[in-house]
Amino acid sequence: MSNDPAVKTLHTVDNRSKVVAVLATAAAFGAGMLAVGDIEFVSIAAAAVGVGVRFGSVWWGARVFVDRDAASVTEQPTAGGFHHGAVGVALAAAGGLALVARSLGGAVSTVAVAAVAAAVVAFLVLSVLLPE
């Protein structure tokens, strides 16, 4: 294990993001069950929110708490070479929008397709707009 403070901070951010993601998933699930009531749909949408929050919070935490001189999340050997912030925001937003659209009476298949399309478009746009 490295003694580099940036690596230690990144591990702390990573560990705390797990808790934040679980809480976000539980909140999305609870709100979805109250508003929609369809457990299968709500479970998938809440999972998207949770995974998005996990990716997004690691990206955000690395940007806020790790020195600017340190390597970015994408430069970490096990992180993968994609934009974590764009994935996180896109998934969380798509899951939230799916729950809202379904609670407003949208059909399951229409809302699901629209949420996936929104996630893809949001990822493509955000991966260009958001800093690494």
Check whether 74 has a pLDDT greater than 60: no
Is the model more confident about 61 or about 70? Answer: 61
Check whether 1 has a pLDDT greater than 50: no
The band of 31, judged by pLDDT with boundaries at 50, 70 and 90, is very high
Check whether 21 has a pLDDT greater than 70: yes
Tell me the average pLDDT across 70-99.
Answer: 78
Give Cβ neighbours of residue 115 (< 8 Å, ≥ 6 apart): 45, 48, 94, 95, 97, 98, 101
pTM for the full predicted model: 0.84
Domain segments of the chain: what residues? Answer: 5-129
How far apart are the C-alpha atoms of 38 and 105, rounded to whole Å? 12
**Biggest alpha carbon–alpha carbon distance for the chain:** 53
How far apart are the C-alpha atoms of 34 and 64, rounded to whole Å? 34
Please return the burial class of 72, using the count of CB atoms within 10 Å of its CB with bins 0-12, 13-18 and 19+.
Answer: middle
